A = this chain, B = another copy of it.
Amino acid sequence: MVKVGIIGATGYAGSELVKIIHAHPKAQLKVLTTKSYAGKPFWEVYPYLYKYIDLTCEKLDLPALVEQVDVVFTALPHGHAMPVGAEVIRQGKKLIDLGADFRFKDYNQYEKWYQVEHTARELLEQTVYGLPELYREKIKRASIIGNPGCYPTSAILGLAPLVAERLLDPDTLIIDSKSGVSGAGRSPSVGTLYCEVNENIRAYNIGLHRHTPEIEQELSAVFGQAIKLSFTPHLTPMNRGILSTMYGKLNREMDTGALRELYDTFYETEPFVRVLPPGMLPQTKAVTGSNCCDVAVTADPRTGRVVVTSAIDNLIKGASGQAVQNMNIIYGFDEAAGIDSPGMYP
């Protein structure tokens, strides 16, 4: 059994991780730490886990925690996982960070968009961007995983086949994403109160969202050349889910059938990407509670564009499920261990 510690266990992503690891056949939850609830049983913070999980939230003692476990998951605001990375490397353990600290190959990008100094630059060479569909082999050998952001997961999986085949004019990419509210976390604020979000849709951070450079970094790597794109996130009245609608100009004529075939081939052996058959389009409810990313691609011959839509559960494939998928890859487990549920409907 792999021994697991979770730092930042009481946010929504952290608690999802606690649940998944708890039920994982090959992993064992050893330590949970939180800033706000130290000393409380975890089920007091998340009553749905009463009688399922007995662990008590602890205050973080970093060296002691790393010593007790094989792998550390961090689900923290950006900037807080960098010291954890250093300690994990010192003790020869593994880190899977659900935040942004280890996602960027170029610390300048991180510093520019996040407006903090990167204090663990020397670790970036040993880190891998934890998107299994692109980096499975590297993940197997990595010590630090920068687990992808929720929006980037949906966008990169949606566009990678087209970008890899260089079928798109790279200047024409637009990503319009719609997210549920759990992505905003559990800290109280007026903007995420029920009455403010319910019956409401709005865009936010237009042109400025920090997931933009992350998407660009990965699609550029796939493309082999720098790509600049537009990304607009929206807050929508759901607990979970991201739907991304993506647009680009095709640089040759292709119909929907040919495009779907391309996607089928690209994701043929992937356990968690479902290229939908004709007549079906992604919807967030079809992936709620599952680690799947659903994708459909449509050619629009009128405009010469392709429209791709993808759907994920932002807390699972967009955060904790993908983190566990990465752990499974690192330890050579069945990649679906602990994350094989189809979710819940309705």
Chain A interfacial positions (CB closer than 8 Å to B): 12, 15, 19, 23, 44, 46-53, 172, 174, 176, 178, 180-182, 186, 188-190, 192-204, 206-207, 228-230, 232, 234, 236-241, 243, 245, 247, 274, 276-277, 280-290, 292, 294, 298-300, 302-303, 305, 307, 309, 311, 341-346
Asked whether A194 lies within 8 Å of B239 as measured between CB atoms, the reply is: yes
A199 touches which one: B203, B239, B294 (CB < 8 A)? B239
Asked whether B280 lies within 8 Å of A232 as measured between CB atoms, the reply is: no
Can you report 15 A-B residue pairs in the complex whose CB atoms are below 8 A from each other? A48-B290, A48-B343, A50-B294, A172-B172, A178-B236, A180-B199, A192-B193, A194-B198, A198-B198, A199-B240, A199-B284, A200-B285, A202-B281, A207-B299, A230-B300
A300 touches which one: B19, B201, B206 (CB < 8 A)? B206
Instruction: Identify the interface centre among A228, A241, A285: most chain B CB within 10 Å of its CB.
Output: A285
Chain B nearest CB from A49 CB (Å) reads: 5
Asked whether B48 lies within 8 Å of A207 as measured between CB atoms, the reply is: no
- Residues of B close to A202: CB separation below 8 A: 243, 281-284, 309, 311
In the complex, A306→B53 CA distance in Å? Answer: 30
Asked whether A283 lies within 8 Å of B47 as measured between CB atoms, the reply is: yes
Copies of this chain held together in the complex: 4
Chain B nearest CB from A344 CB (Å) reads: 5
Other 17 A-B pairs with CB < 8 A, given A19-B342, A23-B341, A201-B284: A47-B283, A50-B276, A188-B188, A188-B190, A200-B284, A201-B243, A203-B307, A203-B309, A204-B281, A206-B307, A207-B299, A229-B303, A230-B247, A230-B303, A232-B307, A289-B289, A341-B341
In the complex, A172→B171 CA distance in Å? Answer: 11
- Residues of B close to A228: CB separation below 8 A: 302-303
In the complex, A62→B245 CA distance in Å? Answer: 45
- Residues of B close to A237: CB separation below 8 A: 194, 198, 236-238
Chain B nearest CB from A251 CB (Å) reads: 14
In the complex, A215→B221 CA distance in Å? Answer: 37
In the complex, A181→B12 CA distance in Å? Answer: 21
Which B residue's beta carbon lies closest to that of A287? B48
Chain B nearest CB from A226 CB (Å) reads: 12
Which B residue's beta carbon lies closest to that of A313? B344
- Residues of B close to A50: CB separation below 8 A: 274, 276-277, 280, 286, 294
- Residues of B close to A207: CB separation below 8 A: 298-300, 302-303, 307
In the complex, A300→B47 CA distance in Å? Answer: 24
Given that A48-B343, A241-B201, A298-B206 are known contacts, is A12 also in contact with B195, CB under 8 Å in the complex?
yes
Which 3 residue pairs are nearest across A and B when measured between Cβ atoms?
A188-B188, A202-B283, A207-B300
